[in-house]
Amino acid sequence: MRLFVALEIPAAVRDNLAAQMKELRDLSRQVADKRPRWMRPENLHVTLKFIGEVSPANLENIREALTAIHRDAPVHLEFRGLGFFPSQQHPRVLWAGIEASPNLPSLAADIDSALETQGVAREERAFAPHLTLARFEPPGLHDKLRTMIQQNSGREFGSLQAREFHLVESHLRLAAAEYTSLASFPFAALEA
């Protein structure tokens, strides 16, 4: 099983991102730039921890470890702006940015620690919340596409108050990955 832990994004945010992606995808077709591999809007999520391949026998232990995670408050996220990994000069990934409350990195760290007890390697890189919109293979993009992305670099897509995260299984397919939520984990109580 190929697993990851993520926050789901609201339909309104997904719709705003899908509209932006359609504009960019249409332009990339117009200029015949075949490098972008666009994510399916229904697959957009905020990854908190990529677990990778695990034996189905370990699934229950992973669930139990994640159940123990609790926070005093929900996580607040604002989805805003577009950018590139590793850089604008050599783009491999187009992302939508996330401005999050200070408890998001600590939530990701708690998940990382809980999963380490189950034999999942700790993250080596600092947590950088984002939504992957496209991958470029080979790296690079057409100048017109770069210009449109720069023009939308401050665009706002919406917000989210997250009180739960999800354990998700990824099924790799030729066309695109398919995701199945295996379990949900409330981590912050509803406000009274």
pLDDT digit string, tens, across residues 122-157: 999 889 899 999 999 888 888 998 899 999 989 999
- What amino acid is encoded at 135 in this protein? R
| pLDDT value for 86 | 86
Query: Nearest-CA neighbor of 16 among 82, 68, 111?
Result: 82
pLDDT of residue 192: 44
pLDDT at res. 137: 87
pTM assigned to the model: 0.89
> In which residue ranges of the chain is pLDDT below 50?
192
Biggest distance spanned by C-alpha atoms of the chain: 54
Specify whether the CB–CB gap between 58 and 139 falls below 8 A: no
What was the pLDDT predicted at 88?
81
pLDDT at residue 141, rounded to an integer: 83
- Alpha-helix runs per DSSP H in 31-86: 59-67
CA 131 distance to own-chain centroid: 4
Instruction: State the pLDDT at residue 20.
Output: 96
Q: How many CA atoms lie within 13 A of 110 on its CB side?
A: 14
pLDDT value for 63: 97
What is the rounded distance in angstroms from the CA atom of residue 169 to the CA atom of residue 52?
9
**Residue 55 neighbours by CB distance under 10 Å:** 8
- Measure the CA dihedral 11/15/17/23, to 10°: 170
pLDDT at position 191 is 59
Cβ atoms of residues 111 and 49 within 8 Å: yes
Find residue 2's DSSP bridge partners: 53
Q: Which structural domains are found in the chain, ordered by start?
A: 2-186 (3.90.1140.10)
What does the block give as tokens for 141?
């993009």
pLDDT of residue 177: 81
Three-class secondary structure of residue 167 per DSSP:
strand
